């Protein structure tokens, strides 16, 4: 416990140093920490951080630090221009102080010491952090067949199983690397699903994104392992702007896992990520997320702001399936969506969103039906506890050309206390008379009778709540890959500890 405090303090000091300009003492401190790192002792990872604030120069600096080609910089600047004219959206059922975007540092990368070829070369500090978060590499190794691209503060520092994937022609790397190594793919697809002007935070991300993951599955290849990325936010006051681009070429298949967790902080941290998925003809993409960022304390202090734009486009006969378990963040604003452009394309959204204490979540999905016989399924399970507010917001839109499109939606809400709120905002726009749309919604309060029944069998209250909630969310949890399902179940139980009232 004590060491953790010291670590946090040191990070804080380190940040101050950068802001105030380095004194002699600072230089000395830097040298010392740098030295002990050389000897392999665990210390803070040195960060390369740009001073807070946002303007064209900052964007040029980010781009220069990443040694980006001219077209990438132009793309960023264009996004910045668009963003400068936009206003923050207010329609969500959320209340929070507007983040001061000029107080954020837009680039923070752990300094690379050398190229890493195996997991053994990963910085001990990083590994310690991961172990604390319960995602040790040892564990990951045991979970056979998982290639991990670990992202810490925006820059990938370890990539595994790369060679095996390389043999199949699968590209799985950081987006920065892809910009260097596969510019033609990045240039062709970036911004095609989530354009720069899409929304306020997507535009911001387009201007300042520092890193993220890139994945390309070649024609007809069935990716043999679950691809996995762990995100975490490290430096206090550093907004994280991840950008993920996933392309499944014709007839390919990939299952992608994304999980993230952040350490406790007193100030709000902004996370405005963008995920773009392109699923070409006959391809299938399964994208699973377990999100457990710091939600703030019981009074709502601290916690991550999670304003994310996730969208995929399905071409003919292709399929995108979003599965998410959301337990973290102080404020969540997130709608993984599918544009069902191709005929016979399929979009799916399975979600469990838990809010406790003062957490607020406004989450759901959009299914945009353009192709003939396109089908979509939405299963959303909200769980609200404490004083939290949990909203489902979904849009099912059937365009005139989408003959015989079908949608089936279920939105259930479970209330754990008398002070929390559950809200459902389903929007349906059907412009084709052949569309078939079904929508079911229920709201229930966790039954004291159910809890007592469990207790009478010798199951204590906490475990009983865990069992009941897991049962409630089972339909969604079953959609997760095995190793994720276990983690997700643990998370649900932890998130709801002491929450019945």
Partner 1 sequence: MLKIKNLHAQVGDTKILNGLDLEVGPGEVHAIMGPNGSGKSTLASVLSGREDYEVTDGSVDFDGVDLLDMDASDRAREGLFLAFQYPVEIPGVSNMNFMKAAINGKRAHAGLDPIKGNDFLQKVKECASLVELDGRLRDRSVNEGFSGGEKKRNEIFQMAMLEPKLAVLDETDSGLDIDALRVVSQGVNAMRNSDRSFMVITHYQRLLDHIVPDFVHVLSEGKIVKSGGKELALELEEKGYDWI
Enumerate binding residues for partner 1 (CB under 8 A).
447-450, 452-461, 463, 467-468, 470-475
Q: How far is the CB of 461 from partner 1 (least distance, A)?
A: 7
First-to-last alpha carbon distance for the chain, in angstroms, is 31
Nearer to partner 1, 272 or 473 (CB): 473
Q: How far is the CB of 500 from partner 1 (least distance, A)?
A: 12
Nearer to partner 1, 281 or 475 (CB): 475
Nearer to partner 1, 381 or 397 (CB): 381
Q: Is the dihedral of CA 129, 131, 137, 140 positive or negative?
A: negative
Nearer to partner 1, 24 or 449 (CB): 449
3-state helix, strand, coil in the chain (%, to 5): 30, 35, 35
Q: How far is the CB of 473 from partner 1 (least distance, A)?
A: 7
Q: Which ranges of 236-302 would DSSP assign to H, the alpha helix?
A: none
> What is the distance between the alpha carbons of residues 308 and 296, in angstroms, rounded to a whole number?
18
Q: How far is the CB of 352 from partner 1 (least distance, A)?
A: 12
Nearer to partner 1, 36 or 455 (CB): 455
Q: How far is the CB of 321 from partner 1 (least distance, A)?
A: 20
Q: At CA 174, angle to CA 168 and CA 177, rounded to 5?
A: 90
- DSSP state letter for 380: E
**171-174 and 375-384 beta bridge pairing:** unpaired
Q: How far is the CB of 452 from partner 1 (least distance, A)?
A: 6
Nearer to partner 1, 307 or 472 (CB): 472
Measured from the Cβ of residue 481, the count of other Cβ atoms closer than 10 Å reads 17
Q: In this structure, what token pair is assigned to residue 216?
A: 């390309």
Task: Strands of 117-176 (E only): list them.
Answer: 146-152, 155-159, 171-174
Q: How far is the CB of 498 from partner 1 (least distance, A)?
A: 15
What does the buried/exposed string (b/e) look like for 374-405 if buried means 16 or more CB atoms within 10 Å of the residue's CB?
Answer: bbbbbbbbbbbbbbbbbbbbbbbbbbeebbbb
Nearer to partner 1, 40 or 458 (CB): 458
> What is the distance between the alpha carbons of residues 156 and 120, in angstroms, rounded to a whole number?
15
> What is the distance between the alpha carbons of residues 153 and 234, in angstroms, rounded to a whole number?
6
Nearer to partner 1, 400 or 471 (CB): 471
Q: How far is the CB of 469 from partner 1 (least distance, A)?
A: 9
């Amino acid at each position: 416990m004590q060491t953790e405090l010291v670590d946090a303090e040191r990070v804080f000091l380190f940040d101050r140093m950068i802001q105030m300009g380095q004194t002699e003492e600072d230089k000395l401190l830097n040298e010392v920490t740098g030295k002990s790192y050389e000897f392999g002792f665990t210390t803070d990872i040195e960060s390369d951080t740009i001073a807070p604030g946002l303007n064209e120069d900052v964007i040029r600096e980010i781009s220069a630090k990443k040694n980006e080609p001219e077209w990438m910089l132009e793309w960023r600047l264009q996004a910045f221009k668009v963003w400068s004219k936009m206003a923050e959206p207010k329609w969500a059922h959320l209340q929070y102080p507007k983040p001061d975007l000029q107080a954020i540092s837009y680039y923070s990368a752990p300094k690379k010491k050398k190229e890493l070829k195996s997991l053994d070369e990963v910085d001990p500090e990083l590994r310690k952090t991961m172990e604390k978060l319960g995602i040790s590499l040892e564990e990951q190794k045991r979970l056979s067949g998982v290639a991990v691209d670990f992202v810490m503060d925006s820059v990938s520092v370890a990539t595994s199983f790369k060679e095996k994937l390389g043999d199949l022609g699968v590209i799985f790397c950081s987006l920065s690397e892809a910009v260097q190594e596969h510019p033609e793919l990045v240039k062709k697809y970036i911004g095609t699903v989530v354009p720069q002007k899409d929304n306020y935070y997507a535009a911001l991300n387009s201007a300042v994104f520092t890193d993220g993951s890139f994945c390309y599955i070649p024609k007809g290849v069935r990716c043999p392992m679950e691809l996995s990325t762990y995100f975490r936010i490290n430096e206090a006051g550093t907004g994280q702007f991840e950008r993920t681009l996933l392309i499944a070429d014709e007839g390919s298949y990939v299952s992608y896992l994304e999980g993230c967790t952040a350490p406790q902080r007193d100030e709000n941290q902004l996370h405005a990520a963008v995920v773009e998925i392109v699923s070409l003809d006959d391809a299938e993409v399964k994208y699973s997320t377990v999100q457990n960022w710091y939600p703030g304390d019981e009074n709502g202090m601290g916690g991550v702001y999670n304003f994310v734009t996730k969208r995929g486009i399905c071409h003919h006969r292709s399929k995108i399936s979003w599965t998410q378990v959301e337990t973290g963040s102080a404020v969540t604003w997130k709608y993984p969506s599918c544009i069902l452009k191709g005929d016979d394309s399929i979009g799916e959204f399975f979600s469990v969103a838990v809010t406790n204490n003062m957490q607020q979540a406004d989450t759901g999905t959009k299914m945009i039906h353009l192709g003939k016989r396109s089908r979509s399924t939405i299963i959303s399970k909200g769980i609200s506890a404490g004083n939290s507010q949990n909203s489902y917001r979904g849009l099912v839109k059937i365009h005139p050309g989408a003959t015989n499109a079908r949608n089936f939606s279920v939105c259930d809400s479970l209330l754990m206390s008398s002070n929390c709120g559950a809200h459902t905002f389903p929007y349906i726009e059907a412009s084709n008379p052949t569309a078939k749309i079904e929508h079911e919604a229920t709201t229930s309060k966790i039954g004291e009778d159910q809890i007592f029944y469990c207790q009478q069998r010798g199951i204590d209250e906490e475990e009983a709540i865990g069992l009941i909630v897991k049962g409630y969310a089972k339909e969604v949890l079953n959609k997760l890959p095995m190793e994720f399902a276990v983690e997700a179940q643990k998370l649900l139980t932890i998130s709801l500890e002491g929450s019945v009232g």
